Amino acid sequence: MPLVTGVDSSTQSCKVVVRDAETGALVRQGRAPHPDGTEVDPRAWWDALLAAVDAAGGLADVAAVSVAGQQHGMVCLDEAGEVVRPALLWNDTRSADAARDLVEEAGGDGTGRRFWAGATGSVPVASFTATKLRWLARHEPANADRVAAVCLPHDWLTWRLAGAPGLAALRTDRGDASGTGYWSPATGEYRLDLLERAFGRRLRVPAMLGPAEPAGVLDPEVLGGTGPTGVLLGPGTGDNAAAALGVGAGPGDVVVSIGTSGTVFAVADTPAADETGAVAGFADATGRYLPLVCTLNAARVLDAAASLLRVGLDELAELALAAPAGADGLVMVPYLEGERTPNRPLATGSVHGLTLHNATAGHLARAAVEGMLCALADGLDALIAQGARADRVVLVGGGARSAAVRRIAPQVFGCPVVVPPPGEYVADGAARQAAWIALGGAAPPEWPFAETREYAADPVPAVRARYAEARDRTLDRAGG
């Protein structure tokens, strides 16, 4: 019964799970917080990893460890392997102008967007690593001059677990590299010419590993000399690719994650290249592809509706389920924080179709749930337009706990919806990758979900048709 460890180094915290490699059974777990902010000294991640490992009972009995991490973060190292400056995270938007410039420099009238989509599968936005490198070169030239290598958060943590044995030992995987803006999922190769275009010169980048190729072995000294020997290190991956592994998603599955923001991503057999920028053409952690759409407004739409109606989330769900599908024509467009997909950063939310008949708490609750799901369904449509298949939706995240969301989702998405039990899916995906490394084989081990629930209902196309009528009728933020 070999044990394996999966690590989720997210924006807010570090989670560590120890699982049985063959069955996936959870043995123990631990966590530790990360500091707030959009730039963070990577050493804070390392300290949190050590604390979370300690809280999880250590690594003395594990056969392999894999790290999944927040995507896009820019970790710059000098020739000695020292961190040059705090890492700029995915949510640091100071590189928005750099993203725009990189697209415009490649050509106007859509030419630049087509160029980047064809080259890397994605149109650069402020979250991508390449845009942060451009920002660094422009705004901190002294720091830029010191940079010898650039890597991602999970790359750096894996390297540290190996004892940080020189820049040549940096390793990465295709899932995380596909969010840099200088690696092509279609060809499986780095585009160092694009890195040079962004930064002004070429840098050392981590060597690319296959999905089940070890990154090295754990250095016992990094755990204070008390660590085990011979523990394999997996290649690791980005958080979304790890989540797909964690829920067991395969071709035909679309994962809809309803958290603070919303993500819709599919495991696909062909790469995406969406010149509109709505779909990011990422790779997954198994050798396939992971086209992804991100929305800014997800579970907080439910929070806002509950606050407006002065009820709890459970009562909001009861109200929504008591109202008819389509809320008798009442529609909520849920752009409460602006929106990323579609790209309307100044938009506000709106309610349409209000009448004396539907001016009730139940109708508004229903409109809030349907509006949030319709916005995510727009993302699903964008994935399908890029060639993804949607046989079923795997619904995860805090919003999936809502009974109304679970029951209304198949009416809106038009396909069956499965809801796995709540869990640390990113850490679980990293653990499943570690099990693949430890056990070998052509594919990661199958880990069953004992409590997965399936929800099915007849589609109600009128809900999305009515939402489409209202979707573009919004006001910009006052003073925006």
Q: Which string of DSSP letters, residue by residue, matches 36-59?
A: -SSEE-HHHHHHHHHHHHHHTT-S
Tell me, yes or no, whether 199 lies in a domain.
yes
Assess whether 261 and 357 both reside in one domain. Answer: yes
- Give the Å distances, CA to CA, from 187 to 93, 270, 275, 279, 289: 29, 11, 18, 18, 12
Domain-located, residue 434 = no
**Domain-embedded: residue 432:** no
State whether 83 and 33 are in the same domain: yes
Q: Which residue's structure tokens are 């949030």?
A: 372
SS3 label, residue 79: coil
Q: Is 239 a catalytic residue?
A: yes
The residue out of 221, 239, 257 marking a domain boundary is: 239
Residues 270, 294, single domain; the answer is yes
Q: Is residue 445 part of a domain?
A: no
In a domain, 439, yes or no: no
Examine the domain organization and report whether 12 and 88 are in the same domain.
yes
Q: Are residues 52 and 111 in the same domain?
A: yes
What domain count does the chain have?
2
Asked if the structure places residue 430 within a domain, the reply is no
Token output for 170: 């940096």
Sequence-distant (6+) residues with CB within 8 A of 442 are none
pLDDT string in tens for the chain (480-residue length): 799 999 999 999 999 999 999 999 999 999 999 999 999 999 999 999 999 999 999 999 999 999 999 999 999 999 999 999 999 999 888 999 999 999 999 998 899 999 999 999 999 999 999 999 999 999 999 999 999 999 999 999 999 999 999 999 999 999 999 999 999 999 999 999 999 999 999 999 999 999 999 999 999 999 876 668 899 999 999 999 999 999 999 999 999 999 888 999 999 999 999 999 999 999 999 999 999 999 889 999 999 999 999 999 999 999 999 999 999 999 999 999 888 888 888 899 999 999 999 999 999 999 999 999 999 999 999 999 999 999 999 999 999 999 999 999 999 999 999 999 888 999 999 999 999 999 999 999 999 877 889 999 999 999 999 999 999 999 998 875
The reply to whether 87 and 43 lie within a common domain is yes
Q: Say which CATH number the domain at 454 has.
A: 3.30.420.40
Residue with tokens 């290190």, as numbered in its chain: 233
Alpha-carbon torsion (304, 305, 310, 313), positive or negative: negative
Q: Which domain holds residue 108?
A: 3-239
Using CB atoms within 10 Å of the CB of residue 445, give its burial: 0 to 12 exposed, 13 to 18 middle, 19+ buried: middle
The answer to whether residues 33 and 96 belong to one domain is: yes
Structure tokens, 469: 């009528």
352 labelled ligand-binding: no
Residues 14 and 159 occupy one common structural domain: yes
Using the 3D structure, point to which of 214, 239, 264 is the last residue of a domain. Answer: 239
User: Is residue 192 located within the same domain as residue 301?
Assistant: no
Residue 427 lies in a domain: no
Q: Are 178 and 91 part of one and the same domain?
A: yes
**147 and 35: one domain?**
yes
Instruction: Give first-to-last CA distance, the chain, whole Å.
Output: 59
Contacts 24+ apart (CB under 8 A), 27-30: 27/3, 28/56, 28/57, 29/55, 29/56, 29/424, 29/427, 30/54, 30/55, 30/56, 30/57
Residue tagged 């063959």 (tokens): 22
Q: How many CA atoms lie within 13 A of 16 on its CB side?
A: 26
Q: What is the pTM of this model?
A: 0.92
The last residue of a domain, from among 218, 239, 260: 239
For residue 71, say whether it is annotated as part of any ligand binding site.
yes
Marked catalytic residue, from 8, 239, 274, 378: 239
Q: Is residue 30 part of a domain?
A: yes
235/252 same-domain check: no
Tell which residue, 35, 32, 144, has the closest CA to residue 85. Answer: 144
